[in-house]
Amino acid sequence: MVLPENMPMVSHTRIGLIERYREFMPVTEKTPIISLMEGSTPLIRADRLAGAISPNLTIYLKYEGLNPTGSFKDRGMTMAISKAVEEGSKAVMCASTGNTSASAAAYSARAGIDCIVLIPKGNIALGKLSQSMIHGAKVIQIEGNFDEALTMVRKVTDNYPVTLVNSLNPYRIEGQKSGAFEICDALGTAPDFHAIPVGNAGNITAYWKGYKEYFAHGKIKRLPKMIGFQAAGSAPIVHGHPIAQPETIATAIRIGNPASWKSAEAARDESGGLIDMVTDEEILEAYKMLASMEGVFCEPASAAPVAGVRKLASAGFFKEPATVVCVLTGHGLKDPDMAIKMASKPITVPANMDALMKVLGY
Ligand SMILES: Cc1ncc(COP(=O)(O)O)c(C=O)c1O
């Protein structure tokens, strides 16, 4: 197909985050930028949700499900894969609860390098598994959990010419900190509270780094309080010790020994925030509220910060009017099984008007 001369080959309304925040990213003119136009996700004001949670709150949803592979992982992956290619790597590897592997597989395909992913068998959402497979990654399911998978991946990447692309890779954090920049750029300030799910704890680490950098550069005049939420059955930071057999329906945060544990605690303590836990029931209620009251469909783990804010609000935590940003880390379509389980079932009728009008009640 021949395009008319004035027709752009790429979207000019959206640029990748490395280009958007180049001055804050560890890249040079020589770095090959591997991008799928990630970042620049919407910050959606959620007044109906806030009305149901607390009259004191203005709530914004950072809808990270609108990244190219449907989760925030693309922010870190554009950096990690770009640097891996710059350094001559021919293969990358990660352990994953699903979203990291989907993102690593897509960006590796785009870069033309190999990707190996280790996932816990039976505990990753269908959409995520399909992504790793279709992008051509070597997908290995282990009969164990995420923490065991990560230990195995670290042994391989420490000893063989394969680049680790879990969030222990510092370039992942560099890319992910851009989420904080976008929030501040959209609001013109930092929010009072930044609410986020905590699994392996890379994202809370990254957001806090981003806020601190923007503050140091004078782009914002104050810092938010970081409030992180783990699932009750997978809450090592809340309990203060690793959980050998983590359990939760929010499979993305089913992690018992977070790699970035210390830096998550630093984000919590330096910001004057907290890390708390929410039950699976609370997560699923928040998940349904987001979908039914705001039209925003996220995966269960992403509803954890909304569940957490709701829990804190009902305990009287928010005494003053405050702005809260909840990061919705992944798209609801990642886990269609959960949505189908939670929603009312379709009604089946014969293909005639009488039957239709009867169920419509007109
Ligand atoms: C949708 C979703 N939310 C939250 C998390 C937790 O992020 P982190 O491991 O950086 O704490 C993950 C990690 O896989 C995720 O996929």
pLDDT digits (tens, 9 = 90+) for 297-336: 999 999 999 999 999 999 999 999 999 999 999 999 999 9
C-alpha distance from residue 299 to each of 70, 108, 137, 287, 309 (Å): 10, 24, 23, 7, 17
DSSP conformational letter for 71: B
What pLDDT does residue 14 have? 83
pLDDT at 4: 56
Using the mean position of ligand 1's atoms as its centre, give its distance from the Cα of residue 170 in Å.
Answer: 16
- Average pLDDT score, the chain: 96
Enumerate the H helices of the chain as residue ranges: 17-20, 47-53, 73-86, 99-111, 126-134, 146-159, 170-176, 178-187, 202-216, 236-239, 261-271, 280-294, 304-314, 336-342, 353-360
Ligand 1 centre distance from Cα of residue 21 (Å) = 23
Res 221 pLDDT > 90: yes
Residue nearest to atom 7 of ligand 1 (CA): 199
Is the pLDDT at 8 greater than 60, yes or no? no
252-280 residue pLDDT tens: 999 999 999 999 999 999 999 999 999 99
Binning the chain into helix, strand and coil, the percentages to the nearest 5 are 45, 15, 40
Kindly report the protein residue whose alpha carbon is nearest to atom 12 of ligand 1: 252
Write down the pTM of the prediction.
Answer: 0.95
pLDDT number for residue 10: 57
Tell me the mean pLDDT in the region 119-137. 94
Q: Please tell me the residue having the least CA distance from ligand 1 atom 15.
A: 252
Residues in contact with ligand 1 by the CB-under-6-Å rule are 71, 97, 99-100, 167, 197-203, 252-253, 299, 301-302, 329-330
Give the pLDDT band of residue 13 (cuts 50, 70, 90): confident
Q: Is residue 11's pLDDT more than 80?
A: no
Which ligand 1 atom is nearest residue 334's CA?
Answer: 1
Return the best residue to mutate from 62, 69, 72, 146 for the ligand 1 pocket (most ligand atoms within 8 A of CB): 72
Q: Is the pLDDT of residue 12 over 70?
A: no
Which pLDDT band holds residue 190 (cuts at 50, 70, 90)? Answer: very high
pLDDT (0 to 100) of residue 3: 54
Distance 67 CA to ligand 1 centre (A): 14
Residue 50 has pLDDT above 80, yes or no: yes
Name the residue type at position 168.
L
